[in-house]
Amino acid sequence: MAEAINPEEYQFPSIYNFPPFFTRQINQQVWNSQLGSWADLITSYCRHHRIWRLDATNDYTGLFENKLLKRKVRPDTIRDILDHLVASGQAMWTDPETIKSTSAKDSTAISSSRYLRQPAGILVLWQSLDDWAAILSQWLADTGHPKGSVLTLYELLEDEESRVPALIGMDRQLFGAVATKLVAKGSAVAMRDGNGGLVGLKTC
């Protein structure tokens, strides 16, 4: 998680002070609306604080607990909220190969839990991958990097003199997904280490 760079305190929406917001509602229509409100809150909060990922089991942001109300979202409900974010294209699992847990009510459920793994968390897309790829492409054009220039991840994301302003501190895994978009458009070539890990980009 990147440190917040926005000096202004985040203003929570009024629904955050509504106790039922922290409990899954039984009515499906109400629950769908609740999911939408949580999605809006999470993406807005993460954009404000430049948070790139959320853990599926450890709420280190404190976002799912309102201490003034003494209300906290249940872990299984948090998982449902994260599922919704991924399904709606506002997030992606950090471990996409993870097998999704099967409901105990499902007659086809695998009986042994050792075959089921919970995902580590999500990468929050408070902007789309295409938007971030476009920002990176425009930055490369504006900064006049000639064809064949090699830029390391450190130079792109962290170095104060060369980094891309909109991508400062971006999670490396998320940047990898953005880079894949750029490579697919023929704007760059991925530079990788001996283990296949992304280490930089070469402009085309």
Range list of H helices, the chain: 28-49, 75-87, 129-142, 153-157, 172-184
Under 8 Å between Cβ of 119 and 98: yes
Q: Which of 60-64, 85-89, 112-116 has the highest mean pLDDT?
A: 85-89
Q: What is this structure's pTM?
A: 0.81
CA 50 – CA 168 distance, rounded (Å): 9
Task: Write out the two tokens for 159.
Answer: 């170095």
pLDDT in tens, 88-107: 999 999 976 554 443 333 43
CA distances from 71 to 40, 42, 64, 115, 154 (A): 19, 17, 9, 33, 40
CA 84 – CA 103 distance, rounded (Å): 16
- Nearest residue to 38 (alpha-carbon basis) of 8, 66, 58, 57: 66
pLDDT of residue 118: 58
CA 170 – CA 198 distance, rounded (Å): 14
pLDDT of residue 125: 96
Mean pLDDT for the stretch of residues 52-66: 86
pLDDT of residue 143: 85
- Nearest residue to 171 (alpha-carbon basis) of 132, 204, 135, 138: 132
What are the structural domains, with CATH classification, of the chain? 14-124 (1.10.10.570), 129-203 (1.10.10.10)
pLDDT in tens, 64-97: 999 999 999 999 999 999 999 999 999 999 976 5
pLDDT in tens, 157-184: 988 777 888 888 899 999 999 999 999 9
Mean pLDDT for the stretch of residues 101-126: 54
Rg of the chain's alpha carbons, rounded to an integer? 20
